[in-house]
Structures are given as structure tokens and as C-alpha cells.
Amino acid sequence: MDGIHDMGGMAGFGPVDVSADVSGIEGWEARLQAVALLSGGMSRPGIEAIPPAEYLSSGYAEKWLVCAERRLLGDGVIQADALDSWQSELASDPSRRPPRADAPEAVPRLVEALTTTPSMAEAATSRFAIGDRVRVRRMRPEGHHRCPRYVRGALGVVERIPGAEHQPPTEPGGDVGPFEAVYTVQFDSSELWGEHDAEPAFDLLIDLWESYLEAP
């Protein structure tokens, strides 16, 4: 979707401070990420369902909290009145901790779910080959999409073909999209932002599904 959530390459936000120390992760952020991942709420469609004003005013971890809450509420795992009650109790006494259940037999499954990245299937067929010049199609997609606005219409070169997989759902809880070859496309920064604005010049690698690309 072409909303505020696709901020890559947008102007008006000032320079990116690459000297800032962002290595420290608070313990609550790590626990929250685990909850969001296990609840199924850790998804880009879920993030993009957050209203623009709330999205811009929320921190990185807060966005995942919102997604996890909405997913758990929607699935009936937690109830709205129980959530409101705990929020009130924590607001009055931050030292309070919710009840917990020990389930040691579930630990191996949780570790596997949190640490295993599914491998991409081999691409049985592919329209383009390594070294081919390709152009990213100009499009205005509806719902969740994985083609950044700033590369649409740009020329690049296929650097590798990592495999094939389904495109993601266009909305939270939706069906997966078509199964297609995925290409790692190399772009020159001057192609994306012009010779004077790409500072300094560099190459950018982006994974794109086959239907996002066309022959120049």
C-alpha cells in the first residue's frame, strides 16, 4: 500500500543519524517481540493497519504491541475487559506482574519458532537470468505490498536468484499471494535518487518478486 508506512526514500524527515547507538534492546522489548511473533501479530499487514497518526507517534516496539493486542483480541485469546483491567492495574502499580503459567514442555517448540527461518524453495522457472537488466514496474497496489515506492520505474541488474516463495497476504489474516521466483536486484543509488542527491554513491540490493519486474 502507498501509505505513510512505506517511508523508505521519502523526503522531509531530515538526515538519518547513523552514529546513534541503537544496539541496546530493553528486556521488555525482547519479550514483546517474542509475544508478537508467537501471536501471529508480527506482520507487515498488521503494522500497515495502524492509522497514520498513531503509526508516526509510536515507537518501534509499540507498533508490535498494538499488532499483538489486536491479533490476540481478534482470535479471542484475550478479552477486551481483561486487557483494560490489566492496563489500569499496571498504570496504578507498575511493579505488578500478570499471572504466568510454567510449561517447560513448550520451551523447545518456542525456541524453534523464534530462531528458525524457513528456507526459500528453489525457483523451478524464472523469466530473468543473473546479469539481466530489468525495470521495476510502475504500480499503485492496494493493501500490503513488498515493492518500495522509491524503486518503481527504476532500472537494475539481477544479481542473484535466491529462490521462490508466495507473495504475502495483502491484508491481516488474508491468503498468501502467487508463488513466484524472487530476484535480488542491484540498483545504483544515482538511478534511484539522482546523481546529486545520492550521497555518497552506493549500490542497493533489493529482493523483488518476478511480477514486480519487466524487461526494459
Q: Is residue 123 part of a domain?
A: no
Same domain, 41 and 102: yes
Q: What is the CATH number of the domain that holds 110?
A: 1.10.472.20
Q: 104 in a domain, yes or no?
A: yes
121 within domain boundaries: no
High-pLDDT (> 70) share of the chain, %: 93
What's the structural domain count of the chain? Answer: 2
* Cβ count near 74 (within 10 Å): 13
pLDDT digits (tens, 9 = 90+) for 67-86: 888 888 888 888 999 888 88
Query: Residue 175 domain-assigned?
Result: yes
- 3-state helix/strand/coil string of 154-209: CEEEEEEEEEEEECCCCCCCCCCCCEEEEEEEEEEHHHHHCCCCCCCCCEEEEEEE
Residues 87 and 151 in one domain: no
Average pLDDT of 185-204?
Answer: 83
HSE-up (13 A, CA, CB side) for residue 119: 3
Through-space distance between the first and last CA atoms of the chain, rounded to whole angstroms = 24
pLDDT tens digits, 158-175 = 999 999 999 988 876 778
| Containing structural domain, residue 198 | 133-214
* Single residue among 54, 88, 115 that ends a domain in this structure: 115
Extract the runs of DSSP E, i.e. beta strands, from the chain.
133-136, 155-166, 179-188, 203-209, 213-214
What predicted TM-score, i.e. pTM, was given to this entire model? 0.76
- pLDDT tens sequence across 87-114: 888 889 888 877 776 778 877 877 887 7
Each residue of 16-64: pLDDT tens digit?
Answer: 777 766 666 777 888 887 778 777 766 777 788 888 899 889 888 888 8
